[in-house]
Structure 1
Amino acid sequence: MKKISGIFLLSLLLTACGQTEEKDGQTSDNNDPEQPIEVEMEMAEKAEQGEEVEIGAFVTQGEEKVTDANEVLFEIWKEGDKAESEEFLAEEPEDEKYSITHTFEEEGIYHVTAHVTARGMHSMPTEEITVGQSVEKTEDNGEETDIHAGHQHGSPVTADLQSPSELKAGEEMEISFQVAEEGEPIRNARVRLEIWQKGDETREWVDAEEESGLYIASHTFEESGDYMMTVHIEDEEDLHEHVDKMVSVK
């Protein structure tokens, strides 16, 4: 009987020791899953017409460098011509950087957005690059041109949820948003909802229709829980913003 008790006690000690070692060894898993990803773009501010340019992005979560992103997509368009934007998918990161090379065939000011999906989150910073000498001279002379017309990136764009606060799983629900910039409603915009649960690798995209000043979309949440929702807002004047929300589904 004493022999059995001794074996049992030894087993408990070994188990406890193993659990302690497992806790102590958890370095990469100790990252807060709620901590947002951050994307730092690396790109020249100026380039020559016909020059091949490297466009890169470093992705981090807290102090950890993220090299397992689900998707890193670079969207490029000439200012004033958002409808003709091009998209380029980055391959596996090299030296912890996701990158592509791109040749700008025409002079002008271009916008580059890095659409990054990683660890159940989404980020889409935008930078500008000036291509060609004549564009620089126009800016230096202080002349006002249509090339700078429109919304400025980083402006306070809001998307206030107008739907009932309680959403139900298994039922088609109407989700409506009041979209505004500096308190003024944004009209005639393209509004899309990107919906997912934390940890999901796939996203659902839903287009919203404008109606009486609201942007309304229909969606069925398959199960209850907390959902992340990114409201993407674009218009013909180069507005390209997103607002992150979280909703609870019963």
Structure 2
Amino acid sequence: MVKKVSMFLFFCSLLVLAACGETNEDGPQAAEDEEVKSLDVAFDVPETADVGESVTLEATVLYGDEPVKDAEEVIFEVWEKGNKEDSSKDLKSTNNQDGTYTVETTFDQDGVYEMYAHTTAKDLHTMPKKSITIGEVNKQEAADEHHSAEHEHGAHTEGFHMHFNQPKDVMVDQETAMTVHLQMNDKPLEQATVRYEVWKEGEEKHHWVDTEETNAGEYTGKHSFSEKGTNYVIVHVENDDGLHEHEEHVVEVTE
């Protein structure tokens, strides 16, 4: 009887050791398989072009070292320097099925233009920025504009980018989602504290809206506007590294 009990305990020990061995063997491999890679976009834009000339904007999308052939969205937003509010965001790209996304566009007047390649893939968002000089522009002025392309609104920390998704068709007493994408040195800015300061034109009372980081570098908060008219939204950004940025936007509530 004692011998049978000993044999039973021996086999139980073997089973426990085998289970532990499988756990230890699979653990590191599973961790390696689940490793989060970075979403990188090489944004290729000519430095100069002529008025009316066809210009190719190209984004090469990589997840780690692998080309992304099925990005959810690649959209090019273009605006004339100093006129960001009138940007055009309808330049949807063509997926070339090799990790590159392109669009052809033209510019109808001289000037320096800036652009984002808004890229969403693998539940991540990134938005590299470039500029292009069109036609006859003073060379020194163009050089200054290119150097300042990294400083939207002329006051941001070097390498920091903020893109506020302008809400459309905002209605009274309807909960409106407001989203901002943040980057630092071409990487999503994660774990920041982002709040929206909201108030109606002519009123002193300001509302504060907290946000949630829904994706890496993407922060969303919801607010219901109580009256129609012009409202202002300041995006406040802070983090533990001492970053403190803000940017003001206008939201029109129609009805």
Q: TM-score, normalised by structure 1?
A: 0.50
Q: Report which of the two structures shows the higher radius of gyration computed on alpha carbons.
A: 2
Q: TM-score, normalised by structure 2?
A: 0.49
